[in-house]
Amino acid sequence: MPEVYDVVVIGAGVVGTAVARLLSHHHLEVALLDAGADIGAGTSKANTAILHTGFDATPGSLESRLVARGYALLNDYAPNVGIAIEPLGALLVAWDDEQAASLNASAEKAVANGYRSASLIDAQSVYELEPQLASGARGAMVVPDEFIIDPWSTPLAFAKEAIANGVIWLPNHSVTKLDRSNDITVISTAEQHTLRARCVVNAAGLHSDDVHALFGLAGFTVRPRRGELIVFDKLARSLLSHTILPVPTSHTKGVLVAPTVFGNIMLGPTADDIDDKTATGSTRAGIDALLAKGQRILPALLHEEVTAVYAGLRAATQHSDYQISHDPTLGYVCLGGIRSTGLTASMALAEEALALLQRCGLVATPKASDELRSIRVTNLGEAFARPYQGGSSGAIVCHCERTTSNEIVEACTVAPTATTLDGIRRRTRALSGRCQGFYCSAEVCALAANASGKPMSEWLGNQ
Amino acid sequence: MTAASHSSVDVAIIGGGPAGLSAALALHQLGITNVVVLERETQAGGVPRHTEHLGYGIRDLHRVTTGPRYSAELRKRVEAAGITVRVGTTAVDWLDDTTLQIADATGLSTIAARCVVLATGVRERPRAARLVAGDRGAGIFTTGSLQQLTANHHQRPGKRALIVGAEHVSFSALLTLRHAGCDVVAMVTPLPRHQSYAALRALTAQRHRVPIITDTNVAEIHGRKRVEAVTLTDGQRIECDTVVFTGDWIPDNELARRGGIDIDIASRSPVVDGSWRTNRRGVFAIGNLIHPAETADICALDGRNVANAVAGWMATNNWPTDPLRIVVEHPISWISPGAVQPRAAAALKHFTLRVSEPVADATICVTQNGAVLWRSRRPRRLVPNRSISISASWLTKVDPAGSDINVTLNVGQPHK
């Protein structure tokens, strides 16, 4: 561990890990911190998993530019490392006259955002594409390049690559103090760690305003926006072949019905502005509201079993755009107020952060290509080969998701390692299927305990 | 894929639980020996392997034993007969009528069978499928996951548990929790009373002092890292660190559905006729897949009984289509089998049905085209989640050219 890091990245969500990955391609000493125990375990884990074209962003905004750039970067990167993307396309469906009238405006907005492949179709064409949709659709805008992506493997791949290229990964580092003097920032944590850095990148998501305030800075406040999601059984997947988007409002992209790369159908999210940055519980009202929406969009969905219900928090602020800033005297770059489009924009946000760090005086010399180590993550997408099909990954342990024993062991032994069952879930899909561990939770725990040396009772969350 | 990765058999049985193993044994006794049992777990025997209390084997082995001993006995008999059981082997999908793609530790391969018997069993609906709101802390189980942890790995699930459900399996969960040293603070059921044997309830009330909270359900779970409490639909808050969701069975019907097999809308089971035939040619379904859920011995009897039907199909190549469906009305939730072939000789002796609410002094009526084929008064209360058996003797009266058959419950109707 160096005396002074060149850069410390605070927050190991999809944005922070993307920044760490890009920095690891340079001759720099970098640490990646997170208050939590794992990569992508905050707001990133509950992302709606769409690779957005940015067709509906505010033209001219940072979000518009970074989503478009990030889309191109991630769409290139993902297949090279094993992150599943399926090129499904989306339908922005209008359900009444007002929405139908606004489709033209949506099409114009797409063009203003530099996206030219959207087209309008009539109701009959909507049902030819999606025969299971509820009756009453008035027409739609087709967005052929709105893809679906694996939201769990993306930050993991970034982190794995960053670590492989020398970034120090420090989980359970909850930053409580930032002191700047003599061009060095002293970072103190609740767990009594002290680190020194020339530059700090704030990618703290829900807590980006808190980190910002540790430098005495203001300008934005994160008001968590809770989004509840319902994941339906894989047998529902054949009901849809596109993502079904609502006509957006200024507040949220609204409730969508989307196939997932894991082979399910997802319904959500709700949008509830709340005060508690840890309130990730689902609510009766939220579940009921989603089911009512689902009934109005895709009624057959409600005949299928529910596999999972969860809630995520988006880092919404009083501003509609990303809150990106830098301060050369503090050696500080802030990537705040980034909501669900952050997954798509992540690699562009990393480029942005690097450019701003350089403006803060950071000298970043790129490594030669032969100095860089590449990585792969296990494909979790149904559309591509899974380990169980290959015959060299051991027996299937999780039958719902067809996760093999070797995948569990790898999740617990290859950095960044899983330290919780949720961590295993996000790396392997084990335990996230329709039975929710009825068959395999004991076996998965036993394999994890054996591979990690940590007793089963700890994996089970027992005291 | 190598040349060795394709095999063919007369009968492929999918699932090595009590139903599947019993079917293999019965087929063997009929001289049908080119049979393979595919079991995705590392050991055959099914769910009873993890249930370490008495209550198994009464109807098929004619003695009472524990779940692990019961499944060991079935394994022993299958092994003694020389029947091939491929453990660690999953039937992934259908390639044609009765050819399956399978996966094991060597990857993908295929098995071509003349006949497939689905015995894929049943699972409990987990918390998410029941749409219970709240936090997702550690300490939330189903009976299945709980019993594997305690039986196979000797883990203590927690200190204070709430059991959701009050049917047979809920009491099984209670015994497991007490055995593992975990207190049970209450059982909760949305129904007006428990749905198990009175003796079992009396025992738990006396020995374990567990209250049953009726007409109530779990509304919300609290505790972000670990369960801390539960709020019930009546507003009551119960402090606990463990919640066990029991019963509320759903068949493991994925392979059946992937094969386009008709599924009953209420039980989510494949619809079979009196000879366990599905609407997919050459494919039978037995066990808890078709009646979620009965005891292991009843599943085993399905396995025994299906053998003759399998042998008949293999001898004649006759697969009758378009059976008469049996339509039930509230408060009957489902009946199994859900169809009949009126002209075919039925091996079936009984139908099993379930009610969705308790019914006192009911008369069960079987009618076709408005004509009563059979009726039976049940002076004892019919209880949800308990199997209700009715005779299949009326099958001989069914008009083959008639309409579907209706089964209804008339409350308080005088017996004639």
- Phi, psi angle pair for A138, to nearest 5°: -100, -15
Distance separating alpha carbons of residues A382 and B413, to the nearest angstrom:
55
**B233 interfaces chain A, CB cutoff of 8 Å:** no
With an 8 Å Cβ cutoff, are B155 and A457 in contact? Answer: yes
Our CA-based measurement puts residue B72 at a distance from the nearest CA of chain A, in whole angstroms, of 19
**Cβ pairs A/B, distance under 8 A:** 131
Per-residue pLDDT band at B346 (split at 50, 70, 90):
low
Residue in B127, B156, B226 closest to A436 by CB: B127
At residue B234, does pLDDT exceed 90?
Answer: yes
Most B-contacting residue of A435, A445, A457 (CB-CB within 10 A), to test interface = A435
Q: Which of chain B's residues have a Cβ under 8 Å away from the Cβ of A291?
A: 131
Evaluate whether A22 touches A45 at the Cβ level (below 8 Å): no
Distance separating alpha carbons of residues B268 and A107, to the nearest angstrom:
43
pLDDT score, position B4? 44
Query: Which residues lie closer than 8 Å to B352 by C-beta, 6 or more apart?
Result: B291, B294, B335, B336, B387, B388, B389
Distance separating alpha carbons of residues A162 and A164, to the nearest angstrom:
5
With an 8 Å Cβ cutoff, are B108 and A391 in contact? Answer: yes
Q: Considering only residues 251 to 290 of chain A, which have any Cβ-Cβ distance to chain B shorter than 8 Å?
A: 278, 280-284, 286-287
Most A-contacting residue of B131, B252, B257 (CB-CB within 10 A), to test interface = B131
At residue B1, does pLDDT exceed 50?
Answer: no
Residue in B40, B139, B254 closest to A461 by CB: B139
Q: How far lies B45's CA from each of A56, A118, B61, B202, B252, in Å?
A: 55, 55, 15, 31, 16
Helix (H) or strand (E) holding B185: strand B183-188
Query: Which residues lie closer than 8 Å to B195 by C-beta, 6 or more apart?
Result: B166, B167, B168, B189, B383, B384, B385, B386
pLDDT score, position A250? 57
pLDDT score, position A249? 62
Burial label, A196 (beta-carbon count in 10 A; 0-12, 13-18, 19+): middle
Q: Which of chain B's residues have a Cβ under 8 Å away from the Cβ of A235?
A: 254, 257
pLDDT digits (tens, 9 = 90+) for B127-186: 999 999 999 999 999 999 999 999 888 889 999 999 999 999 999 999 999 999 999 999
Evaluate whether B153 touches B181 at the Cβ level (below 8 Å): no
pLDDT score, position A248? 73
Beta strands in A339-412 (DSSP E): 396-398, 403-404
Strand partners, A68: none
The series of mean pLDDT values per 10 residues for chain A, 463 residues long, is 94 98 98 97 92 96 97 98 98 93 94 97 98 97 98 98 98 98 97 98 97 96 95 97 86 85 96 92 95 97 96 93 97 96 98 98 97 97 95 92 97 96 96 93 95 94 67
pLDDT score, position A440? 93
Write the DSSP symbol of residue B207. I
Write the DSSP symbol of residue B305. H
Distance separating alpha carbons of residues A90 and A322, to the nearest angstrom:
24
- Residue B320: asked if its preceding bond is cis (omega within 30°), the reply is no
Q: Which of chain B's residues have a Cβ under 8 Å away from the Cβ of A46?
A: none
Q: Which of chain A's residues have a Cβ under 8 Å away from the Cβ of B137?
A: 461
Crossing angle for the helix pair A421-428 and A405-413, to the nearest 10 degrees: 120
Q: Which of chain A's residues have a Cβ under 8 Å away from the Cβ of B108?
A: 389, 391
Strand partners, A312: A227
With an 8 Å Cβ cutoff, are B123 and A439 in contact? Answer: yes
Evaluate whether A416 touches A169 at the Cβ level (below 8 Å): yes
Residue of A nearest to B159 (CA): A462
Distance separating alpha carbons of residues B161 and B229, to the nearest angstrom:
10
Residue of B nearest to A290 (CA): B131
pLDDT score, position B134? 96
Evaluate whether B277 touches B320 at the Cβ level (below 8 Å): yes
Most A-contacting residue of B89, B142, B148, B233 (CB-CB within 10 A), to test interface = B148
pLDDT score, position B415? 44
Per-residue pLDDT band at B416 (split at 50, 70, 90):
very low
Q: How far lies A184's CA from each of A7, A23, B384, in Å?
A: 10, 18, 70
Distance separating alpha carbons of residues B18 and B121, to the nearest angstrom:
9
Helix (H) or strand (E) holding A353: helix A342-359
At residue B414, does pLDDT exceed 80?
Answer: no
Amino acid (1-letter code) at residue B213: I
**B123 interfaces chain A, CB cutoff of 8 Å:** yes
Evaluate whether B337 touches B285 at the Cβ level (below 8 Å): no
Angle at A90 between CA A89 and CA A92, to 5 degrees: 155
pLDDT digits (tens, 9 = 90+) for B287-345: 999 999 999 999 999 999 999 999 999 999 999 988 999 999 999 999 999 999 877 66
- Residue ranges of alpha helices (H) inside B226-369 are 254-258, 296-316
User: In terms of Cα–Cα distance, which of A79, A394, A397, A423 is closest to A261?
Assistant: A79
pLDDT score, position A251? 58
Of all residues in chain B, the percent with pLDDT exceeding 90 is 87
Mean pLDDT of B39-45: 97
pLDDT score, position B269? 98
For chain B, what is the total number of helices (H) and then of strands (E)? 7, 28
- Phi, psi angle pair for B59, to nearest 5°: -80, -25
Evaluate whether A118 touches A105 at the Cβ level (below 8 Å): no
Distance separating alpha carbons of residues B184 and B243, to the nearest angstrom:
10
Query: Which residues lie closer than 8 Å to B8 by C-beta, 6 or more apart?
Result: B111, B112, B113
Q: Considering only residues 365 to 424 of chain A, which have any Cβ-Cβ distance to chain B shorter than 8 Å?
A: 388-392, 394-396, 399, 402, 421
| Dihedral over alpha carbons A258, A259, A261, A262 (to 10 degrees) | 110
Structure tokens at A142: 């087709």
